[in-house]
Structure 1
Amino acid sequence: MTFESLGLSEALLKAIVEQQYTAPFPIQEQAIPAILAGKDVQGIAQTGSGKTASFVLPILELFQRKKAARSLHLKVLILVPTRELAIQISEVINGFEQFLPKKVKNTPVFGGIPLNQQMVKLKNTEILVATPGRLLELVSTQSINLAKIEMLVLDEADKMLDLGFQEEVNQILALLPTKRQNILFSATLDTESKLIKDTLLCDPIRIEVEATEKNIDLIQQSAYQVDPERKGPLLRYLIKQKDMKQVLVFVSSVRTADNLVIKLKKNGIQAMAIHSKKTQGARIEALFSFKKGGIRVLVATDLASRGIDIQFLPFVINYELPRSPKDYVHRIGRTGRAEASGEAISLICPEDEHHFKIIQKKMGKKVTILPSDELNLTGM
């Protein structure tokens, strides 16, 4: 199937080529026609499956099809769990909009920066990309009116609930008009996500794109046994020995992230951290610098990692294992995307071995575990 067959305009097709998309992903093949037809859509898809474009493209197409003059009220609300994801979706919209004859203003809003700075940008916004807490703040100051929303998109609904946004989501739903189109995307359909789906969607088109073995098979996985005191030197050894120009390193805590960056810099490896204690400006700067090749290593916690979307990322390292197998797959899925290969490496201390066995069992794939005691880490 081609993008031309999905009913998109020439301007959008030109932007798709410009963004180096060659053929639609399965989620896009099914979601784009359904959204264009006005259907409610429930999508079960992992990060990296192409889901952002699957709702951004038809939204922009629908704006182009409106024959009436622009009515500058808020029409589309895209609700997301994190500021990084809000920024990423806004950037995707901007990229696809570049050739459109009718420009559509989108504005991302999120916590971490002064409310007034975002309030002044809201004028004439037609697509709002928002985190729940900041959206309710703007509603409380009467900066936003949700009464004329025509389409609601809930992206990463499962993560939104994991982060404790159930009450905020319910408050927002109560403010929206009853008649609207609803799009819900989630990596899984757990009990809470199913409850939102049953409440929100009307006779939805259900699309499920599983994290298939084919996707995982694109990722070369390995692990190293290591004693805790040799963990830092081993990380630096692997970065230098494999000449990693761009590597995303996952840790479990803010403190570990900051300490790791200090040690990497002391050893001549440019690195920055991205986590919840960083200011919004610092997080944006770190992500931008990493994407553009200004730094080799981005150290991230799981919470901050939502929204880090980098095509052709060659390496991911689990400096510390995540708590759940689902998060492990999410982490390594940052590489091996867009049909490209990638490498994921985990550092396994003795106390991690049992947990790593559980992760492998849940993933349905055995990972080669290599010894590291004979590696010469002197000077690392």
Structure 2
Amino acid sequence: MNFSELGLSTEILSAISRAKYESPYPIQTQSIPSLLKGKDILGLAPTGSGKTAAFILPILDRLLTKKEPEGRHIPVLILVPTRELAVQVAEVAENFSRFLPRKIKTMAVFGGVSINPQMIKLNRTEILIATPGRLIDLLGRNALSLSKVHTLVLDEADKVLNMGFREEVEHILELLPQKRQNLLFSATMDDEVRVLIDKMLQDPVKVQIEAENFSPDEIEQKAYRVSLESKGPFLRTLINSGDWKQILVFTSSIRTADNVVGKLVKNGIEAIAFHGDKSQGARTEALARFKSGKTRVLVATDLAARGIDILHLPLVINYELPRSPKDYIHRIGRTGRAGSTGEAISLITPEEMHHFKVIQKKMGKWVKLTHEEDFGKEE
């Protein structure tokens, strides 16, 4: 199926083409027609399934037919659990918006940074992406109004609740107009999520995408058997062997991430770390440098597996394996997105061999293992 078959306007279809999105993901084909009809949506979908574009595209389509809002009355509110996801969703919206007949103002607000600049910039915002705590802070200062919200999105609802935001979300729901379109997306559905579904959604269209059904087939997976001592030098050899513009390297700990960055930089390879011990400002800067191409290598813990969304990321390297097969899928799913090809390479020590076999079995796909001595000799 093509985007042109989903009922989107010619302006949105042109933006999709210019943003180089080639074909829709299953969640997009199943969600967009119902969203355009104004129906509520319950989306059960894992990270990496394409759900952000699934709700952003029809939201932009609807906003194009409306006048820009006056003052600080927000028409579209998107609630997310983390700062990284807020920035990611805003970037997806802005990526499409820049190709539209008029620019639709999008803004992400979150804690950990000064609130005053956010308050100043809120005027005429059409899509507000917010973490619950910071939104309530802004509401408490009368920095915006929710009285004209016509579309509410709760993204990663299970994570929002797991992070302890249930009371904040319920408070925000009380401040919204009764008549509105509601979209709730969650990777899992436990009792708490079900309670929220009953409060938010009215006769929703249910869209469910199983994790195993969206693992990108376009990803070329490789693995190299290396010794613990040679892993660092081999990583540097691997990075220098190709002309990849961006490389995302995953480690299993903060300490290893910092050590890897130190060795890469010492050997003349531009690299920067991204993990939970970094301040929000440092994490934002690291992502910005990586996405703009100023820094070629980003070394991250699994915090980033769910927080990084780069349309044409060519290579992911597992310097260390994650704990679970699901995290492995999340990691390699950062590449090969939106119809583009991608490559994922894992460096496996003898101690990791058994765990790698478990990951492959759960994934249902076996990866060719090459000894480090044979690097470059593969056919």
The two structures share one fold, judged by TM-score above 0.5: yes
Q: What one-letter code is carried by the residue in structure 2 that aligns with 1:60?
A: L
Against the structure 1 CA distance between its residues 95 and 334, is the aligned structure 2 distance closer, same or farther, given a 3 Å change threshold?
A: closer
How far apart, in 1, do the equivalents of 2:69 and 2:332 lie?
A: 46
What secondary structure is seen at the aligned counterpart in 1 of 2:360?
helix
* Matched pairs, number: 376
How far apart, in 1, do the equivalents of 2:69 and 2:108 lie?
A: 24
Counterpart contact for 1:109–1:129, Cα < 8 Å: yes
Shift of 1:269: 1.0
What secondary structure is seen at the aligned counterpart in 1 of 2:121?
coil
How far apart, in 1, do the equivalents of 2:223 and 2:166 lie?
A: 37
How far apart, in 1, do the equivalents of 2:225 and 2:162 lie?
A: 31
How far apart, in 2, do the equivalents of 1:210 and 1:5 lie?
A: 23
Counterpart contact for 1:151–1:180, Cα < 8 Å: yes
Shift of 1:211: 3.8
Task: Please identify, of 113-122 and 195-204, the stretch whose mean Cα deviation from structure 2 is larger.
Answer: 195-204
How far apart, in 2, do the equivalents of 1:186 and 1:35 lie?
A: 17
2:247 counterpart of 1:247: yes
What secondary structure is seen at the aligned counterpart in 2 of 1:107?
strand
Q: What one-letter code is carried by the residue in structure 2 that aligns with 1:253?
A: S
Counterpart contact for 1:72–1:126, Cα < 8 Å: no
Against the structure 1 CA distance between its residues 161 and 350, is the aligned structure 2 distance closer, same or farther, given a 3 Å change threshold?
A: farther
Against the structure 1 CA distance between its residues 118 and 70, is the aligned structure 2 distance closer, same or farther, given a 3 Å change threshold?
A: closer
What secondary structure is seen at the aligned counterpart in 1 of 2:345?
strand
How far apart, in 2, do the equivalents of 1:90 and 1:60 lie?
A: 12
Q: What one-letter code is carried by the residue in structure 2 that aligns with 1:49?
A: S
How far apart, in 1, do the equivalents of 2:284 and 2:180 lie?
A: 33
How far apart, in 1, do the equivalents of 2:111 and 2:366 lie?
A: 40
Task: Please identify, of 159-168 and 241-250, the stretch whose mean Cα deviation from structure 2 is larger.
Answer: 159-168
What secondary structure is seen at the aligned counterpart in 1 of 2:346?
strand
What secondary structure is seen at the aligned counterpart in 2 of 1:310?
coil
How far apart, in 1, do the equivalents of 2:264 and 2:68 lie?
A: 57
Shift of 1:215: 3.8
Shift of 1:293: 2.6
Shift of 1:123: 1.8
Counterpart contact for 1:223–1:346, Cα < 8 Å: yes
TM-score between both structures, scaled by the size of structure 2 = 0.87
Unpaired runs of 5+ residues, structure 1, are none
How far apart, in 1, do the equivalents of 2:353 and 2:173 lie?
A: 44
Provide the residue aligned with 1:146 in structure 2.
146
Q: CA RMSD in A?
A: 2.9
What secondary structure is seen at the aligned counterpart in 2 of 1:24?
coil
Counterpart contact for 2:316–2:334, Cα < 8 Å: yes
What secondary structure is seen at the aligned counterpart in 2 of 1:120?
helix
How far apart, in 2, do the equivalents of 1:158 and 1:279 lie?
A: 25
How far apart, in 2, do the equivalents of 1:234 and 1:22 lie?
A: 35
Against the structure 1 CA distance between its residues 338 and 3, is the aligned structure 2 distance closer, same or farther, given a 3 Å change threshold?
A: closer
2:272 counterpart of 1:272: yes
Residue-by-residue CA offset, 1:150-172 (whole Å, 9 max, x unaligned): 22111223343454444443443
Provide the residue aligned with 1:362 in structure 2.
362
Percent identity of paired positions between Structure 1 and Structure 2: 59
Against the structure 1 CA distance between its residues 88 and 299, is the aligned structure 2 distance closer, same or farther, given a 3 Å change threshold?
A: same
